[in-house]
Amino acid sequence: MASVNDRYGHAAPEPLYAAIKKYVLDGIARGDRRPGDRIESEAELIKKFGVSRMTAHRALRELQNSGVLTRLPGVGTFVADPSAKGHIIEIRNIADEIRARGHQHASLVVKNVAEKANRKTAPLLGVAVGTPIFHSMIVHSEAGVPIQLEERFVLGSAAPGYDEVDFTRTTPNEFLTRAAPLERVDHIVRAVMPSTDAMELLKIKADEPCLLLIRQTWSQSRLVSYARLTHPSSRYEFEDSFTV
Amino acid sequence: MASVNDRYGHAAPEPLYAAIKKYVLDGIARGDRRPGDRIESEAELIKKFGVSRMTAHRALRELQNSGVLTRLPGVGTFVADPSAKGHIIEIRNIADEIRARGHQHASLVVKNVAEKANRKTAPLLGVAVGTPIFHSMIVHSEAGVPIQLEERFVLGSAAPGYDEVDFTRTTPNEFLTRAAPLERVDHIVRAVMPSTDAMELLKIKADEPCLLLIRQTWSQSRLVSYARLTHPSSRYEFEDSFTV
DNA sequence: AGATGCCAACTGTCTATACATGTCAATATA
DNA sequence: TATATTGACATGTATAGACAGTTGGCATCT
């Protein structure tokens, strides 16, 4: 029987189970398949993709394990109800968030340059040293009080012209979602003491703890942006509420 | 070839891949296998358990996907370096979370009493001063290291017998979800410096920042529980990942 | 009409086998 | 000596076939 690579010659192959997962996820993302909707059965996917049952099964099983699908023996496979999926951190623009509270948002652009990834920054984006990247640093203020220091590294090839954007008028977040449609987001939340930069730019004391949100965003299977968002604890906290 | 159930007659069968996963996790939990240690190769597991390669492979692959193992083609399978990472979205029992990482969970019950709400505690649960409540304080440890101080106030009428539960064997979370089915959850995340209690019980220095997660849970339209979960920043962080 | 039994559809698990790829060390070659 | 080559070992993916358990509807018998 033909192996995966026979189908694609020498090109880097995408595993078949991954292709099926993507197919299903795309349908959901497009709004074509809605919560509760039925997904093709394994038998139907076998026909449609010409794969074996184990392969179709693996794709659906992994989507089930990650909470995207619900499966019922004897019945079928369905798009899961996303009710329990309240994400504590929405990908919202800090500017919108501040304006939603009825306050004035202001940005101070400390730095916005094109540079080459060095030994420190290359691992953050998972690229080789020397790869062109953008590096920006912006202080966001709410009603005149600094509440977020945003330091960001962006993959050069993913967002051409990043270093020429006026970030007092728009935010990196906004620019990036247009340049590179969001595919996946990873978050890490930590409590940290402020760096020297953070202390000065956020105008806080050395003994004030900060909430650090590290946000990695992916687009087209590439890690496109790495951002460190530092918030003084006295001025900012995360909130989340959801019903089951 | 014999099916799973032939092996066990009519008893509820545990899938073979699950048995292998448990075997590996047990080894890690016992401290027998430590981070970086090598795990049996698929070939070895095949011999040891008498399963096919696909079954052994599935067990190891799922443990890899959940972050317990690291695998390298041509080299082998190893116990992953575990950093304590909490998935904030899930209302998950800290004990389960720790065990899922393949570590031992231990609870130290500092306090668990029935008392009456006072001026300080009454507002937390939104009740009148004098209302009967429970008040517990538990230190959760992962592999012997304290990673969470859980201080909790529970509405007396919602969870009778709370003060008599042995919280070294179960967690308040677990007990509460049975006593009062979850309806809504509110979260607040802050960075704070440790309280005197937290310093002593978590065995940290005064200058180590902590992640504070405040969790309010509602059941049948009543605020049933108010918990302050304090985590040393050096030992715990929240993690969240999702695809759009 | 109602109870019963049967069957098709569907998911869950497992085996045996195959080929592909990555890593490393030993061996052969220039 | 330095550099290729080879082969053992390990994981990654995929196939084809098998049996088990669950569910729901349809046909049949009472």
Confidence of residue B81 (pLDDT cuts 50, 70, 90): confident
Residue spans of beta strands (DSSP E) within A124-237: 132-142, 145-155, 184-192, 210-219, 222-232
Measuring CA to CA, which residue among B223, B213, B225, B224 is closest to residue B90? B213
Mean pLDDT (chain B, rounded): 85
Chain-chain contact of A241 with B182 (C-beta, under 8 angstroms): no
- Is the Cβ pair A187, B238 closer than 8 Å? yes
Residue A75 Cβ under 7 A from any strand D atom = yes
Q: What is the mean pLDDT of residues A97-120?
A: 86
Q: Which CATH architecture has domain B85-239?
A: 3-Layer(aba) Sandwich (3.40)
Greater pLDDT, B163 or A174: B163
pLDDT tens for A197-229 read 999 999 999 999 999 999 998 887 788 999 999
- Amino acid identity at B184: R
The residue among A144 and B90 whose pLDDT is bigger is A144
Is any atom of nucleic acid chain C found less than 7 Å from the CB of residue B184?
A: no
Chain A residues 63 to 92 whose Cβ lies within 7 Å of strand C are: 64, 71-77
Q: Answer whether any strand D atom is within 7 A of the Cβ of A6.
A: no
| B1, pLDDT greater than 50 | no
Q: Does B85 touch chain A (CB under 8 A)?
A: yes
| CATH 3.40.1410.10 residue ranges for chain A | 94-232
* Owner of token pair 């992994």: A62
The letter for the amino acid at A211 is L
Nucleotides in chain D near protein beta carbons (<7 Å): 8-24
Q: Which CATH number fits domain A94-232: 3.40.1410.10, 3.30.450.40, 2.30.30.60, 3.40.980.10?
A: 3.40.1410.10
Please report the pLDDT score of residue A243 as a whole number: 57
For residues A237 and A217, what is the distance between their CA atoms, to the nearest angstrom? 21
pLDDT of residue A67: 80
Q: Token pair 């900060």 is at which residue?
A: A210
**What mean pLDDT do residues B206-223 have?**
89
Cα–Cα nearest to A197, from A110, A122, A107, A115 = A110
Assigned CATH topology for domain A4-84? Arc Repressor Mutant, subunit A (1.10.10)
Task: Flag whether pLDDT at A25 surpasses 70.
Answer: yes
d(CA A48, C1' D27) / Å? 33
Q: Looking at the complex, does the CB of residue A244 fall below 8 Å from at least one CB of chain B?
A: yes
Look at the domain B4-79 and name its fold. Answer: Arc Repressor Mutant, subunit A (1.10.10)
Among the ranges A107-116, A175-184, B73-82, B102-111, which has the highest mean pLDDT value? A107-116
Q: What is the pLDDT of residue B5?
A: 36
Is the pLDDT reported for residue B111 higher than 90? Answer: yes
How far is the CA of B224 from the CAs of B81, B157, B219, in angstroms?
37, 9, 6
Domain span(s) for CATH 1.10.10.10 in chain B: 4-79
Mean model confidence pLDDT for chain A: 85
Q: What's the confidence (pLDDT) of residue A82?
A: 62
Find which of B55, B58, B188, B189 to mutate to test the A interface (most A CBs within 10 Å of its CB): B189
Give the residue range(s) of CATH 1.10.10.10 domains in chain A.
4-84
Above 60 in pLDDT, residue B192?
A: yes
pLDDT value of position A107: 93
Residue length of chain B: 244
Q: Which nucleotide is nearest to B60 (CA to C1')?
A: D11
Which of B50-54, B83-87, B120-124, B226-230 has the lowest average pLDDT?
A: B83-87
Q: How far apart are CA B244 and CA B242, in angstroms?
A: 7
Q: Average pLDDT of A181-205?
A: 89
Q: Tell me the pLDDT tens digit for each residue of B5-61.
A: 333 333 456 899 999 998 998 888 787 898 899 999 999 999 999 999 999 999 999
CA B82 to chain centroid, in Å, comes to: 14
- Residue A5: the pLDDT is 35
Task: Tell which B residues from 38 to 67 touch A, by Cβ distance under 8 Å.
Answer: 54, 65
Q: Return the minimum-mean-pLDDT range out of A234-243, B112-121, B187-196.
A: A234-243
Q: Cα–Cα distance between A4 and A13 in angstroms, integer?
A: 7
Token pair in block for residue B8:
């066990």
Q: How confident is the model at residue A244 (pLDDT cuts 50, 70, 90)?
A: low
B75 nearest nucleotide via C1' and CA: D10
pLDDT value at A8 more than 50: no
pLDDT for residue B145 is more than 60: yes
Of B89, B183, B190, the CB nearest to A88: B89
- pLDDT tops 70 at residue A116: yes
